[in-house]
């Protein structure tokens, strides 16, 4: 474990309940958050994240500024599909299995719904992003 992370976690454990997680530097939207990017601030802010382990490895959904408490809506799982990415579209029903090439019309993480365009038919569909970056159409 990195020394900064260990100190961060020990500090969070020793002052549980009254601390909030704040960025140590400005973190731009779409950046993955590392342990070195965070500090624990002894403040009480309702709804703010108080455990750095919930933030490390997540993606900033908005710009995060030093000293400002991180709220749950400010972060999320890392994006697997970016807008305009070429993706594999998969459709399964019973014994039928169709695979097509598509273009993502939005960005999303695993489990999120994303619109995409089937490049063969030019139809727009909505599907769920899978762990491998493909989109499963329902």
Tens of pLDDT along 43-52?
Answer: 888 999 999 9
What pLDDT is recorded for position 77? Answer: 95
Residue 10 has pLDDT above 50, yes or no: no
Question: What average pLDDT is seen over the chain?
Answer: 89
Class of domain 3-76: alpha beta
Q: Is the dihedral of CA 116, 117, 119, 120 positive or negative?
A: positive
Where exactly does CATH 2.30.30.760 map onto the chain?
A: 79-137
Instruction: State the fold for domain 79-137.
Output: SH3 type barrels. (2.30.30)
Q: Please check the confidence at residue 17 and state whether its pLDDT lies above 70.
A: no
CATH 3.90.1210.10 segments of the chain = 3-76
Question: pLDDT above 90 covers what percent of the chain?
Answer: 82
Give residue-wise pLDDT tens across range 51-107. Answer: 999 999 999 999 999 989 999 999 999 999 999 999 999 999 999 999 999 999 999
**Residues 6 or more apart from 104 whose CB is under 8 A from it?**
81, 82, 83, 84, 85, 86, 87, 114, 115, 116, 135
């Amino acid at each position: 474990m990195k020394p900064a992370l260990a100190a961060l976690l020990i500090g969070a454990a020793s002052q549980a309940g009254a601390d909030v997680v704040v960025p140590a530097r400005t973190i731009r939207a779409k950046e993955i958050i590392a342990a070195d990017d965070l500090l624990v601030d002894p403040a009480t802010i309702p709804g703010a994240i108080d455990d750095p382990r919930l933030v490390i490895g997540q993606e900033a959904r908005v710009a995060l500024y030093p000293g400002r408490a991180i709220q749950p809506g400010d972060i999320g799982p890392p994006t697997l599909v970016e807008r305009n990415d070429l993706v594999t579209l998969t459709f399964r029903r019973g014994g039928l299995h169709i695979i097509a090439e598509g273009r993502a019309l939005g960005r999303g993480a695993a489990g999120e719904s994303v619109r995409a365009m089937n490049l063969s038919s030019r139809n727009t569909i909505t599907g769920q992003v899978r762990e491998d970056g493909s989109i499963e159409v329902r």
